[in-house]
Amino acid sequence: MTAPPPDDCLARNDWICGDYLSTRRQILLDAVVQHLQLTVISVALGLVIAVPLALLARRRRWTVGPVLGITTVLYTIPSLAMFSLLLPVYGLSATLVVVGLALYSLTLLVRNLLAGLDGVPAEAKEAARGMGYGPTRQLLAIELPLAVPAAMAGLRIATVSAVALTTVGAIVGYGGLGNLIYAGMNSFFKAQVLTASVLCVIIAVVFDLLLLGAERLLTPWRRAGHRARRRTRAGEGVKRLVTVGGRRT
């Protein structure tokens, strides 16, 4: 006599399933860790490349066109194609996904850094010069801090998109939670697909809030400012969103 099949949510293949969470906790945890690593390293790499590029573009005005042009062209390439184009260089590795995502974040970071640096009021720079600040001290103490809000807007968008895009890395086996979605698709495992998708969105939201908190800590003078300033900023926010363009897929 054979035992009847267990009547739990895993056997029924429900979308929402508590048993899935408890039995596959380790798999989920590993996927989340991989997802976080891929996202954080790629955005950090993008930032490390973007800051010198933006500073160069500002120092030598003629480089602005080429820098913005090349990063924008890179941003146009679909993610599946980007990861595949890097395949001969990096093979099936995590590096491939990291480099691909870093290239995407470059566009957003360079654009916003430049906008932030260009937005530094001339009076602030003149005041610094009047106080005897050299070019380096002026950059570090005046211009970069004042560029933080615009740069952070780019960083937040870049990070949130990187979290979503990492899932496509499943095509080469390094997609973090995307791996679970890919495997779940092939085996019609609904609970796994839904759980992994929801975790992706949660990670994106948490990163966004953390960066928002960091921005507030880095710009204490903005909190001291009054409502009047905030009102003008609200209008800027909408404009910036449009210049940044669409999301990556």
Partner 1 sequence: MNTLSGVWTWLTTAANWSGENGVWHRLEQHLVLTFACLVISALIALPVALTLGHLGRGGALAVNLANIGRAVPTFAVLVLLLLTPLGRHGQWPTIIALVLFAIPPLLTNAYVGMREVDRDVVRAARGMGMTGTQLVWRVEVPLAFPLVLTGIRIAAVQLVATATLAALVGGGGLGRIITAGFNLASTPQVVAGAVLVAVFALLMEAGFELAQRCAPDRSRGRSR
C-alpha 33/C-alpha 162 separation (Å) is 15
Nearer to partner 1, 35 or 128 (CB): 35
Confirm if 57 and 64 have CB atoms less than 8 A apart.
yes
Nearer to partner 1, 55 or 197 (CB): 197
Q: What would the two tokens of residue 12 be?
A: 């029924």
Q: State the DSSP string of 39-59.
A: HHHHHHHHHHHHHHHHHHHHH
Tell me how far, at minimum, the Cβ of 161 lies from partner 1, in Å: 6
C-alpha 124/C-alpha 140 separation (Å) is 13
Tell me how far, at minimum, the Cβ of 146 lies from partner 1, in Å: 23
Nearer to partner 1, 16 or 131 (CB): 16
Nearer to partner 1, 9 or 204 (CB): 204
Tell me how far, at minimum, the Cβ of 81 lies from partner 1, in Å: 4
Tell me how far, at minimum, the Cβ of 205 lies from partner 1, in Å: 6
**Where along the sequence are the contacts to partner 1 (CB under 8 A)?**
73, 76-82, 84-85, 87-88, 157, 160-161, 163-165, 167-168, 170-171, 178, 181-182, 184-185, 188, 190, 193-194, 196-197, 200-201, 204-205, 208, 237-239, 241-243, 245-249
Tell me how far, at minimum, the Cβ of 129 lies from partner 1, in Å: 32
Nearer to partner 1, 85 or 127 (CB): 85
Confirm if 219 and 151 have CB atoms less than 8 A apart.
no
Nearer to partner 1, 98 or 196 (CB): 196
Q: What would the two tokens of residue 32 be?
A: 């989340």
Tell me how far, at minimum, the Cβ of 32 lies from partner 1, in Å: 14
Q: What are phi and psi of 176, to 5 degrees?
A: 60, -120
C-alpha 94/C-alpha 33 separation (Å) is 13
Helices (H), the chain: 9-12, 18-23, 25-59, 64-76, 79-85, 87-90, 94-118, 122-130, 135-138, 144-165, 177-186, 190-218, 220-224, 227-244
